[in-house]
Amino acid sequence: MMDFYESLPAWLVNTALIIAAVIAGIQGYVAYLILLERKVAAWVQDRIGPNRVGPFGLLQPIADGGKMFLKEEVIPAHVDKIFFLMAPIVAFSTALLAIAVVPLGQTTPPPAATATVAEFESAQAKYAASYSTVVVPGLDIGILYCFAIGSLAVYGVILAGWSSNNKFSLLGALRSSAQIISYEIPLGMSIVGVILFAGSLNLETIIDYQVNKGTWFLFTQPLAFLLFLVSVYAECNRLPFDLPEAEQELVGGYHTEYSNSMKLGLMLLAEYAHMITTSFLMSIVFLGGWSLFGLETAITSDPTGLFLVKAAILGGKMSAFVFLYLLVRWTIPRFRFDQLMALAWKVMIPLALLNLFAAMLIRQFDITPWAMTGVSAMLFLGAGLIGLKHGTPDNRARKLKVPLPRGLPAGVTYAGR
Amino acid sequence: MMKSEDVKWVEEPKLGLFGQLYLPIVMDGLKTTLTHMFQRKVTESYPEQEPTMVPNYRGVHRLNRDAEGRTKCVACYMCATACPAHCIDIVAAPAPAGWTDREKYPETFVIDELRCIYCGMCEEACPVDAIELTTLYDLTGLSREELIFDKEKLLSVFDMTTKAGTDPVRTQSGKLGPASEAPPVK
């Protein structure tokens, strides 16, 4: 048996190991993320939170998981069975696929083009010998792949909503598709500015650019970061943009009919996996991945130690973003649907376009990247000033123009104004 | 007909530059949630941490004893009459010899704790402050019969709560009120 394993190529064993580690890691992280979500919710509301199962409630995720597996699988009679069963699988597998290109720790960027073939060969050999903690290292369309797969996740939601044959589920799914289509645009455009500077879609190269420059895109492109942050909240259906599952309006939204068991478990797992993926993306693209202004090499130079330190730094950044997700949930109330759409189309897309235009100019004329910081601040303030001048037009200063129709008692307003 | 000047439009407050930028307000909100995260928690971990009930909490009933340890009740039926749930059942009997301060005493005094709605009307109705509601809140049982409290059980609730100090005797014991007296002879 050992001979068989040894006969396998090293890259295959490595990749298989990383895949297993990533899947197990994500599921474990999600389990404890759900516990943390409940804990943070409790803390923010001056409560203690789940603390009955195990010390400090630490075994709660295991109890919850066991419950999910042991519950009866209910498939309502009125659903479209094939798509109903397919939806959680689609949702969860796309969520896991998106993480394939995300570097989880130490990375080596693929070599750039060289003058001679010999140089290229040696650079390639050196690259092949180095080790990257990615399931699919060196994928040149990296971030594009992430966005593509991330958008596919909406299929899970739409399939669930449509096949449930239930008006609340369908409304949730419709809201979700409208929302995700709207927010894909600022999400994509905000990151193009970053890609212009890094010169590659490859996530390892983007990290490498930030390490070489000694600064993060968070500082040179803060507006892009802000737009990206807001967009991923909408993409993940998290508050303040959780309209697809607004429980006060839509019962459970698109997963109303997934009342229990592992189908609901997979749906929730997919949502949390999305949070993790987007948090990784934010830390990599805007916070320099595993870099910490050279501090990571100052601590240790031992390769194993360095590997662990880098993984810990990236994990810490990712966890900070995840924590922000949880905290924002209890901070900002849910947007109304028209506000959600207005924010995407009237504010974020114009801002992203202007930001992209500025990035193009600065890149073209080789002005220092720090100019982008000023431009971002100016755009941000400018948007605020425009808002100050014109206010929110829809719900302010309504004047009663038409007298109320006869016969309506005082206090009853007429829908036709 | 309603006049247009009678209609008052409530307008949302106008946002300043900070409000229009939205981010400072979000930061302010995050500050609030963060400070709450580290504030003292209000949760009571119930089975481990017993709550302190307010003195006028309406829990399980008790029958008070007088200074000589006899039941104070004079079997006047005022509580049973006042009871909206009809959960009190009293059988009166002439007071034993030597009980000079009253004409009657309850031979049996039964409260169905499952029927009771814990409104406290019996307590209000009682002219001699014999029946009181205690702060005992965790009344449980394994059968319906178990929760039909007779006189001995209700007196034992008095002994228990006064001994534990959770419910001290609220009214002075001593001479009973006019309800204990024999009707005037004509």
The set of long-range contacts for A319-326, using a CB threshold of 8 Å and a minimum separation of 24, is: A319/A279, A320/A283, A321/A278, A321/A279, A321/A282, A321/A283, A322/A33, A322/A275, A322/A276, A322/A279, A323/A36, A323/A40, A325/A233, A325/A236, A325/A238, A325/A275, A325/A279, A326/A36, A326/A37, A326/A40, A326/A41
Residues of B engaging A, defined by a Cβ cutoff of 8 Å: 1-4, 6-7, 9, 11-12, 14-17, 20-23, 26, 29-30, 32-34, 36-43, 45
The rounded Cα A13 to chain-centroid distance in angstroms is 29
More confident of the two residues B149 and A9: B149
The CATH architecture to which B61-167 belongs is 2-Layer Sandwich (3.30)
Dist CA A392 CA A28 (whole Å): 44
- Between chains, do B32 and A395 touch, taking CB under 8 Å as contact? no
More confident of the two residues A373 and B14: A373
* A414 neighbourhood in chain B, CB within 8 Å: none
A350-388: pLDDT as tens digits: 999 999 998 889 888 888 878 888 888 888 888 888 887
Q: Taking residues B44-53, what's their average pLDDT? A: 85
Dist CA A322 CA A328 (whole Å): 10
Name the residue among A384, A396, A406 with its Cβ closest to that of B1: A406
A362 within some domain:
yes
Q: At what angle do helices B23-37 and A303-329 cross, to 10 degrees?
A: 100
For residue A321, which of A293, A356, A289, A355 has the smallest C-alpha distance?
A289
Closest residue, chain A, to B15 (C-alpha): A388
pLDDT of residue B87: 92
Dist CA A283 CA A104 (whole Å): 11
Res. B173 pLDDT band, cuts 50 70 90: very low
Is there a contact between A277 and A98 (Cβ–Cβ < 8 Å)? Answer: yes
Determine which of A328-337, B144-153, B165-174 has the lowest per-residue pLDDT on average.
B165-174
* Residue in this structure with the two tokens 């009307």, named with its chain if needed: B121
pLDDT of residue A72: 83
Q: Please count the other Cβ atoms lying within 10 Å of the Cβ belonging to residue A411.
A: 8
Phi–psi pair at B61, nearest 5 degrees: -75, 160
pLDDT of residue B185: 64
* B46 neighbourhood in chain A, CB within 8 Å: none
Residue ranges for chain A with pLDDT beneath 70: 1-2, 5, 105, 130-133, 391-417
DSSP B152-163: HHHHHHHHHHHH
Determine which of A337-341, A381-385, B9-13, B140-144 has the lowest per-residue pLDDT on average.
B9-13
A90 within some domain:
yes
Same domain, A257 and A357: yes
Dist CA B76 CA B171 (whole Å): 19
Dist CA A325 CA A315 (whole Å): 15
pLDDT of residue B184: 63
Residue A203 burial class via C-beta count within 10 angstroms: exposed 0-12, middle 13-18, buried 19 and up? buried
A397 within some domain:
no
Name the residue among B6, B11, B33 with its Cβ closest to that of A330: B33
Res. B129 pLDDT band, cuts 50 70 90: confident
Nearest Cα of chain B lies from the Cα of A381 at a distance, in angstroms, of: 7
Indicate if the alpha-carbon torsion angle A282, A284, A290, A293 is positive or negative.
negative
pLDDT of residue A99: 82
Dist CA A72 CA A61 (whole Å): 19
Same domain, A13 and A123: no
Dist CA B88 CA A294 (whole Å): 80
- Between chains, do A332 and B26 touch, taking CB under 8 Å as contact? yes
For residue B104, which of B185, B186, B179, B184 has the smallest C-alpha distance?
B179
DSSP A326-369: HHHHTTSPPPPHHHHHHIIIIIIHHHHHHHHHHHHHHHHTT--T
Same domain, A202 and A180: yes
Q: Which domain holds residue A302?
A: 76-389
- Three-state secondary-structure class, residue B90: strand
* Residue in this structure with the two tokens 């797992």, named with its chain if needed: A269
Domain boundaries of chain B, sorted by first residue: 61-167
A149 within some domain:
yes
CA dihedral A247, A252, A254, A259 (to 10 degrees): 170
* A43 neighbourhood in chain B, CB within 8 Å: 36-38, 41
DSSP A81-130: HHHHHHHHHHHHHHHHHHGGGS--S---PPP---SSHHHHHHHHHHHHHS
Same domain, A164 and A34: no
Same domain, A151 and A11: no
For residue A98, which of A340, A363, A281, A320 has the smallest C-alpha distance?
A281
A34-65: pLDDT as tens digits: 899 999 999 999 888 888 888 888 888 888 88
Task: Kindly tell me if the per-residue pLDDT of B19 is higher than 50.
Answer: yes
- Between chains, do A384 and B42 touch, taking CB under 8 Å as contact? no
Is there a contact between A190 and A229 (Cβ–Cβ < 8 Å)? Answer: no
Same domain, A24 and A91: no
Cβ of A327 under 8 Å from any chain B Cβ? yes
- Residue A129, C-beta contacts closer than 8 angstroms, at least 6 positions apart: none
CA dihedral A46, A50, A52, A57 (to 10 degrees): -110
A239 within some domain:
yes
More confident of the two residues B183 and A89: A89
pLDDT of residue B83: 92
DSSP state of A403: P
Is there a contact between A44 and A10 (Cβ–Cβ < 8 Å)? Answer: no
A385 within some domain:
yes
Query: What's the predicted TM-score (pTM) here?
Result: 0.78
Last residue of a domain, one of A70, A95, A110: A70
Same domain, A31 and A84: no
For residue B31, which of A380, A231, A320, A44 has the smallest C-alpha distance?
A44
Mutate to test the interface with B, among A52, A325, A331, A401 (most CBs of B within 10 A): A331
Same domain, A139 and A209: yes
Dist CA A159 CA A90 (whole Å): 9
Dist CA A315 CA A298 (whole Å): 18
Task: Kindly tell me if the per-residue pLDDT of B117 is higher than 90.
Answer: yes
Type of residue found at A38? R
A395 within some domain:
no
Same domain, A187 and A45: no
Cβ of A331 under 8 Å from any chain B Cβ? yes
Task: Kindly tell me if the per-residue pLDDT of B90 is higher than 70.
Answer: yes
pLDDT of residue A417: 45
Same domain, A15 and A147: no
Average pLDDT, chain A: 82
Segments of A219-370 assigned E as strands: none
Dist CA A312 CA B80 (whole Å): 72
First CA to last CA distance, chain A: 80
- Residue A229, C-beta contacts closer than 8 angstroms, at least 6 positions apart: A282
Same domain, A139 and A241: yes
Same domain, A197 and A228: yes
pLDDT of residue B108: 92
pLDDT of residue B85: 92
What is the tally of structural domains in chain A?
A: 2
- Between chains, do B29 and A226 touch, taking CB under 8 Å as contact? no
Name the residue among A42, A380, A398 with its Cβ closest to that of B9: A398
A406 within some domain:
no
- Between chains, do A385 and B37 touch, taking CB under 8 Å as contact? no
For residue A371, which of A264, A236, A223 has the smallest C-alpha distance?
A223
pLDDT of residue A414: 58
